[in-house]
Amino acid sequence: MGQHFLTISTYLISALLLILLHFLLTMIPGLGNCYRRWFTLIWTRLLDGVKGRDFAYEILKNLAATAAAAGERGEKAPAGSGALSRRAQALSVGRDLLSYRGFNPDDPLVAAVFAHLLDAELASRERK
């Protein structure tokens, strides 16, 4: 228990010291503006890579693969629609997956990117 407390308190002290250092560097008259610019540039690029466009694209790519697999298995085919193509079935499943993951499937940009990724995934599955 004591070792756990020591570890947590060390992390807490380190975080507080980093925040204090950040605050002091932003307040120094000559260095403050330069530091703020570099800090913003570095963290903006880092966060764009973590939760930005690249991350959303990877999620859409994985959803397209999941929808293509579900379309091949014929999941969620409405009754009486035996002639539904695999693409139509995959799009139907994909719309549900998109809304489940927090994307708006009615957004034209999301729908276009998802349809492109789905077509690429279906084409790669046909080649196998």
**Domain spans of the chain, in order of start:** 2-51, 54-127
Please tell me the predicted confidence (pLDDT) of residue 29: 84
- Closest to 60 (Cα-Cα) out of 29, 104, 3, 16: 104
Res 117 pLDDT > 90 = yes
Query: pLDDT per residue over 2-32, tens digit each?
Result: 677 778 888 899 989 988 988 888 888 888 8
Rounded to two decimals, what is the model's pTM?
0.54
Query: pLDDT per residue over 39-61, tens digit each?
Result: 777 777 766 665 556 677 888 89
Interhelix angle 29-51/53-73, nearest 10 degrees: 10
Res 75 pLDDT > 80 = no
